């Protein structure tokens, strides 16, 4: 996956007489990547354009769960849970190197909790059917502590254990883009769509896009243009019609990342009812503990939203209630924030977003712009199938069946345990090991607290289209999300390696480091405090 050949393909199609793409997909998050995979594997020509880096939006900032959503069961949305549980099973089948079964303990401190959650989680098992990850079980106090010794013992009566899936979101995203490209798609990062093109009847028939690196402008034609821009959905819809009504009610969620010792193992904790009626998870991830999340309505989308002080306190407070080793602000290694592109239900006015629909929506504007929005990471495949089915009708494309149900995702490798070195790369890990054996420099670990080696930077630049220090430290590796200070310390060496690979000079490298350090400061609590005085709109 290299940038130059992608640009060459785009230029070639632009030559007169212009040959339209079957689909142009705007947005390189989970949704757009899923559509590109679906369309390419049905044999359609597809171009995916991403304004920033692949996954820079919400898709690298999730709770990292491949799940049915126990919470939606509580809300009575059985069909959503059933669909997500099926997709959870398919994703584990098709990307076994990345999706792993994690046991979750729901601790009970009140007598009625065990039978109540026990029954709910049995239903969760039943709805999964043949796609089940393991049976739930009510545990005694002793069994609960055996499974989760890190729980606060005072007042603990017992627990319920159930199973769900876990993954690395930006790694899966890169693997999906690679899958699409493996099947003939063209995908370009740092390529914003700046205008939509209409035919003489006012119907969308293409886009104008830029290559941000060279400022080259492309005027491209497509039979169908798919808007898969998540929280930016309305911005693209307004390019087609400035007067369209807003569809999206953005809501942000934060996660705090702590040392792995806060959970002591590979079992996660799920708190089904926090003080304000939300669900909170504490999950082991890449040797660390991820705690979250929140659901706070915000006014407008942005790439690097800041956590609100009350969100940080809420997550820490709730974690302290359940963990024997109560975390403090000093324990927070990184804080990251993502924005949910929730679809407004009818007259929803952006009030309490936790009750807005988590289902996906396929919407066709009068201009013929096909928008896919909402849903969740777990259901990206089903969303893509639905979208391409609509695209076939809209663009009068050949009727070709979806083939992603059993499609192996790039990196497919069975029997990968989520530990050891380079496991997230699946089948590609061996190639990175070969690279690392070529020189002692490439085998070098980049920071003593994180497992990443120099060969991963070179690999990211050569075959994963990483263009900046941030791409490498935030999304090709997860250093920034795991430990912001360690990521800052790694930045100069990453910049040096990247500059050598991309043919850039020392000034470029120095600018990259400075830019990354400014960003990474916002992933530390000190940096957040300095950058933010703002308060949430409402809650």
Complete DSSP assignment for 365-395: -TT--EEEEES-GGGHHHHHHHHHHHHHHHH
Sign of CA dihedral 34, 36, 40, 44: positive
Q: In angstroms, what CA-CA distances link 221 with 5, 94, 205?
A: 19, 33, 6
Residues in the chain: 539
Q: Is 175 in the site for ligand FAD (CB under 6 A)?
A: no
Q: By rule CB under 6 A, what count of residues binds ligand FAD? A: 39
Whether residue 128 is preceded by a cis peptide bond, meaning omega within 30 degrees of 0, is no
Sole binder of ligand FAD in the list 21, 27, 205, 429 (CB under 6 A): 27
Quick one: residue 445, left, alpha or beta (phi over 0 = left, psi -120 to 50 = alpha)?
beta
Q: Can residue 62 be called a binding residue for ligand FAD (CB under 6 A)? A: yes
Give the one residue of 3, 42, 64, 381 binding ligand FAD; rule: CB under 6 A. 64
332-361 mask for ligand FAD (x: CB under 6 A)?
------xxxx--------------------
Does residue 84 contact residue 67 with C-beta atoms inside 8 Å? yes
Q: Which is nearer to ligand FAD, 102 or 487 (CB)?
A: 102
User: Pick from 9, 13, 29, 104: which binds ligand FAD (CB under 6 A)?
Assistant: 29
Decide if residue 229 touches ligand FAD (CB under 6 A). yes
CB 314 within 8 A of CB 276: yes
Which of 26/356 has CB closer to ligand FAD? 26
Q: Which residue has the tokens 């989970």?
A: 30
> In this complex, which beta carbon is closest to ligand FAD, that of residue 150 or of residue 337?
337
Task: List the one residue from 100, 237, 286, 376 that touches ligand FAD (CB under 6 A).
Answer: 376
**Is the dihedral angle over the CA atoms 420, 424, 429, 433 positive or is it negative?**
negative
Site string for ligand FAD, 118-157 (x = CB under 6 A): ----------------------------------------
Does position 305 interact with ligand FAD (CB under 6 A)? The reply is: no
User: Based on CB atoms, which residue is closest to ligand FAD, 79 or 438?
Assistant: 79
Pick the binder of ligand FAD from 58, 178, 334, 477 (CB under 6 A).
58
Q: How far apart are CA 456 and CA 435, in angstroms?
A: 9
Least distance in angstroms from the C-beta of 298 to ligand FAD = 11
Assess 296 for contact with ligand FAD (CB under 6 A). no
Q: Output the smallest distance, CB 32 to ligand FAD, in A.
A: 5
Q: Which is nearer to ligand FAD, 470 or 493 (CB)?
A: 470
237 near ligand FAD, rule: CB under 6 A: no
Enumerate residues 6+ apart whose C-beta is below 8 A from 326. 319, 320
Peptide bond between residue 94 and the one before it cis (omega within 30 degrees of 0) = no
Select the span of 61-69, 421-429, 448-456, 492-500 touching ligand FAD (CB under 6 A).
Answer: 61-69
At 147, which helix (H) or strand (E)? helix 141-147
Of 311, 336, 375, 256, residue with least CA distance to 537: 311
Does residue number 378 form part of the binding site for ligand FAD (CB under 6 A)? yes
N-term to C-term CA, the chain: 43
Residue closest to 293 by CA, chosen among 359, 377, 232 = 377
**Which CB sits closer to ligand FAD, 124 or 377?**
377
d(Cα 423, Cα 425) in Å, to the nearest integer? 5
Report if residue 56 touches ligand FAD, rule: CB under 6 A. yes
Q: Is 297 in the site for ligand FAD (CB under 6 A)?
A: no
Binding of ligand FAD at residue 230 (CB under 6 A)?
Answer: yes
With CB under 6 A as the contact rule, the residue among 41, 63, 289, 512 that binds ligand FAD is 63
Q: How far apart are CA 200 and CA 322, in angstroms?
A: 62
- Of 229-237, 466-474, 496-504, 507-515, which part binds ligand FAD (CB under 6 A)? 229-237
**Dist. CA 180–CA 46, nearest whole Å:** 9
**DSSP assigned state of 155:** T
Among 24, 26, 356, 482, binds ligand FAD (CB under 6 A): 26
Chain contacts with ligand FAD (rule: CB under 6 A): 26-32, 49-52, 56-59, 61-65, 67, 192-193, 228-232, 236, 253, 293, 338-341, 375-378
């Amino acid at each position: 996956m290299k940038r130059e050949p992608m640009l060459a393909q785009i230029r070639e199609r632009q030559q007169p007489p212009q040959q339209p793409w079957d689909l142009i997909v705007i947005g390189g998050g989970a949704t757009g990547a899923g559509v590109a995979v679906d369309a390419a594997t049905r044999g359609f020509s597809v171009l995916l354009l991403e304004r920033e880096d692949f996954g820079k939006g919400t898709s690298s900032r999730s709770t990292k769960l491949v799940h049915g959503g126990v919470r939606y069961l509580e809300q009575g949305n059985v069909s959503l849970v059933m669909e997500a549980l099926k997709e959870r099973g398919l994703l584990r089948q098709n990307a076994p190197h990345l999706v792993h079964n994690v046991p979750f303990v729901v601790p009970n401190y009140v007598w009625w909790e065990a039978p109540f959650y026990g029954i709910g989680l049995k239903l969760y098992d039943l709805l999964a059917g043949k796609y089940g990850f393991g049976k739930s079980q009510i545990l005694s106090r002793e069994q609960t502590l055996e499974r989760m010794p890190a729980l606060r013992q005072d007042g603990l009566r017992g627990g319920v254990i159930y199973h769900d899936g876990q993954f690395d979101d930006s790694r899966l995203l890169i693997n999906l883009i690679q899958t699409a490209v493996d099947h003939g798609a063209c995908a370009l990062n740092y390529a914003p769509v700046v205008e939509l093109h209409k035919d003489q009847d006012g119907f969308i028939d293409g886009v104008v896009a830029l290559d941000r690196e060279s400022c080259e402008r492309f005027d491209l034609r497509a039979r169908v243009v798919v808007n898969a821009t998540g929280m930016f959905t309305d911005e693209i819809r307004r390019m087609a019609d400035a007067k369209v009504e807003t569809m999206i009610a953005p809501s942000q969620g934060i996660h705090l990342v702590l040392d792995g010792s806060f959970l002591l193992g590979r079992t996660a904790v799920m708190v089904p009812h926090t003080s304000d009626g939300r669900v909170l998870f504490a999950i082991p991830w890449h040797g660390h503990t991820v705690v979250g999340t929140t659901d706070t309505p915000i006014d407008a989308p942005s790439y690097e939203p800041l956590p609100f002080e009350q969100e940080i306190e809420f997550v820490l407070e709730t974690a302290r209630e359940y963990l024997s080793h109560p975390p403090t602000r000093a324990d927070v290694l990184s804080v990251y924030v993502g924005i949910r592109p929730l679809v407004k239900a009818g007259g929803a006015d952006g009030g309490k977003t936790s009750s807005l629909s988590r289902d996906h929506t396929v919407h066709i504007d009068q201009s013929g712009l096909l928008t896919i929005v909402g849903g969740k990471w777990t259901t990206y495949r089903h969303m893509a199938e639905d979208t391409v089915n609509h695209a076939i009708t809209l663009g009068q494309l050949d009727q070709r069946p979806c083939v992603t149900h059993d499609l192996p995702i790039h990196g497919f490798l069975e029997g990968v345990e989520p530990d050891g070195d380079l496991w997230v790369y699946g089948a590609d890990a061996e190639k990175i090991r070969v690279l690392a054996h070529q020189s002692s420099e490439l085998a070098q670990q980049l920071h003593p607290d994180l497992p990443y080696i120099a060969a991963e930077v070179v690999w990211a630049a050569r075959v994963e289209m990483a263009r900046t220090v941030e791409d490498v430290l935030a999304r090709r590796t997860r250093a920034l999300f795991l430990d912001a200070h360690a990521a800052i310390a790694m930045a100069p060496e990453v910049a040096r390696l990247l500059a050598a690979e991309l043919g850039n000079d020392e000034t470029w490298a120095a600018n990259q480091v400075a830019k990354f350090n400014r960003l990474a400061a916002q992933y530390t609590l000190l940096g957040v405090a300095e950058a933010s005085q703002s308060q949430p709109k409402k809650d």
